[in-house]
Amino acid sequence: MTETTDTDTAALTAVCHVRAPLLLEPVDEQIETLQVCEDEGAVDELLLRSWPKEVALSEESPYQEVIEQYERFEAWANERDVSVRPPFRERSTTSQVTGTTRERLVTPLLCLELYADDELLGVFPHTNEATDETYTTDDAIATLRTGEVPAPLGSPSTTADVDESSTPNTCPDCGGALVDGQGLFACGDCGWLGTVSNAGQYRSRSETTVDEPEASRTNTQ
């Protein structure tokens, strides 16, 4: 019989994984908020980890730790009938020289995992594919900021509000898959960057800066 950790007495650890070379402003702000959560005692310990944009899914990959983390996240998601794909994405690449095809794992801009002692409580973002609901890192960090512990989608103790709009995770420019960086979406194929408007439509960063009033941009952060 598996013992369940008492989250009221266990030490809460937040592990934040981020692509170090792509510390875009919205990502920086989320890390700053997590640091405030640690300072104020909302989390007992905050660990920051960097990972590459993508890694080869093979035993020869020098990033075996990233692959193991991904497999652990997938196992956690499968146990709860949710998915971590996206933000993680697998793709195939073929060498023009050798013709060899390799499977590669594309990592999200930012991913947050929470532990009560050694028990994995949650991985954010994740999606309930049955309802098309996504619990973003922004949602999870906002919940931590209030002193509550985020719970995965489908759990009766989930405290964060989830946007009920159904927005396809495809780039409006090239149709490629978008990576969710807690509110800032990036296309790994063409480099498009943007956000989701209140109407549930993707908008590029330039459109948001020019067209939306300052108050609207502030409220989305």
For range 135-145, the mean pLDDT: 94
The label of the residue with tokens 């908020």 reads: 33
Q: How far apart are CA 135 and CA 35, in angstroms?
A: 20
* Half-sphere CA count of 129, side-chain side, radius 13 A: 10
Is 85 within the bounds of a domain?
Answer: yes
Is 51 within the bounds of a domain?
Answer: yes
Cβ atoms within 10 Å of 94's Cβ, excluding its own:
10
Name beta bridge partners: 48.
Answer: 16
- Structure tokens given for 109: 């801009």
pLDDT at 178: 78
Between 85 and 24, where is the model more confident? 85
What pTM, to 2 d.p., does this model score?
Answer: 0.64
For range 157-176, the mean pLDDT: 54
Domain count, the chain: 1
Which region among 33-42, 44-53, 150-159 has the lowest average model confidence (pLDDT)? 150-159
Q: How confident is the model at residue 214 (pLDDT cuts 50, 70, 90)?
A: very low
Q: How far apart are CA 43 and CA 122, in angstroms?
A: 14
pLDDT at 182: 58
- Residues 111 and 168: beta-carbon distance below 8 Å: no
Is 204 within the bounds of a domain?
Answer: no
Q: How far apart are CA 44 and CA 66, in angstroms?
A: 24
For range 82-91, the mean pLDDT: 91
Q: How confident is the model at residue 151 (pLDDT cuts 50, 70, 90)?
A: confident
Is 91 within the bounds of a domain?
Answer: yes
Is 47 within the bounds of a domain?
Answer: yes
Is 177 within the bounds of a domain?
Answer: no
Name beta bridge partners: 170.
Answer: 177
pLDDT digits 0-9 by tens, 48-80: 999 999 999 988 889 999 999 999 999 999 999
Q: How confident is the model at residue 24 (pLDDT cuts 50, 70, 90)?
A: low
Between 108 and 4, where is the model more confident? 108
Could you tell me how far CA 37 lies from the centroid of its own chain? 18
Between 178 and 60, where is the model more confident? 60
Which helix (H) or strand (E) covers residue 69, if one does?
helix 64-79
Which DSSP state fits 19? -
For range 154-159, the mean pLDDT: 46
Is 197 within the bounds of a domain?
Answer: no
Range of the domain at 112: 12-164
Give the DSSP per-residue string, 25-39: HHHHHHHHHHHHHHH
